[in-house]
Amino acid sequence: MAQTLTEIKQLLATHGLHPKHKYGQNYLHDGNHMARIMDAAAIGPGDRVLEVGPGTGALTERLLETGASVVAVEVDRDFDGLLRERIAQEFGPDAPFELLITDILAGKHAIAPAAIDAVGPGPFKLIANLPYQIASPLLANLVQDHPNMTDAVVMIQKEVADRLAAPPGNKAYGALGILVQAMCEVTRVGVLAPGCFWPPPKVASAVVHLKRRAQPLTDHPRSLSALLQTLFTQRRKQLGKILGRDAALPAGVTADQRPESLSVPQLVELADLPRGPQG
């Protein structure tokens, strides 16, 4: 039942729609890569899925075929009719599908309450071809504040994927990746060329799988995030210059080190230490 590029274009044309750059609408039409997303997600009957940016429903249909229930969040209200009609046509009026026409983000630092209410109190997975502009804040908020998200398998800009998996000392190593690595195991699923999408974006994309750790490295992700913002907005400075020469540091860490040289566990330990006077 996979949607082909021709079918995606026909669905849009039938409803008088076209891709909108302001919403980051680039539709994945490569069936092999979509299958890899599904394999990585390991979705089955009874699973609860949050999908952000469903577009014409190409990935939504694959999710529903597994027997999962899907909460789809679409910011573009012009897609309301297309999605409801398409899912009802393919799966019937009682399909386990709920569509919310809203922004998934309630500001930069929170997920829309309606979306969290819709997925319910139990575990859920985020499976989505994410609009590039929302990927970083969405993932940061979900890993920090929503422990019921057990997995995220998402298509994102390759540059962001590099940041999520970067090791210490790498130029891509920074606040977002460290926070995510503290809470989740990060696996690269694949890299996609622009031609896998319509219209093709100007950059390469990648699929990553974030699997929440059974024991996260920190119980205080917001405190860790706050410290990381302080450190990595001044990443070329030494720790002593940022935090003050009298600041408590983990064993083996010295005041002349730069933030990017510290491992994720060291940064977690640093976030849990009392802050000394800043200089």
Structure tokens at 249: 């540091």
Structure confidence at residue 278 (pLDDT): 45
Residue 77's CB is within 10 A of a number of other CB atoms, namely 9
The beta-strand segments (E) located in 193-259 are: 197-198, 205-212
Element containing residue 8 per DSSP (H, E): helix 5-14
Half-sphere exposure of 206 (CA within 13 A, CB side): 18
Q: What is the pLDDT of residues 166-216, one digit of tens each?
A: 999 999 999 999 999 999 999 999 999 999 999 999 999 999 999 999 999
Residues in the chain: 279
pLDDT band, very low/low/confident/very high, at 279 (cuts 50, 70, 90): very low
- The answer to whether 125 and 41 are in contact (CB under 8 A) is yes
Q: How far apart are CA 149 and CA 51, in angstroms?
A: 12
Domain ranges for the chain: 5-212, 221-272
- The answer to whether 35 and 63 are in contact (CB under 8 A) is no
Structure tokens at 158: 């390759």
Q: What is the pLDDT of residues 18-70, one digit of tens each?
A: 999 899 999 999 999 999 999 999 999 999 999 999 999 999 999 999 999 99
- The answer to whether 96 and 66 are in contact (CB under 8 A) is no
Q: Which residues pair with 51 in a beta bridge?
A: 72
Which CATH code fits 221-272? 1.10.8.100
- The answer to whether 218 and 224 are in contact (CB under 8 A) is yes
Select 5-212's CATH number: 3.40.50.11540, 3.40.50.1820, 3.90.1150.10, 3.40.50.150: 3.40.50.150
Q: What are phi and psi of 45, to 5 degrees?
A: -55, 135
Structure confidence at residue 1 (pLDDT): 57
Half-sphere exposure of 28 (CA within 13 A, CB side): 31
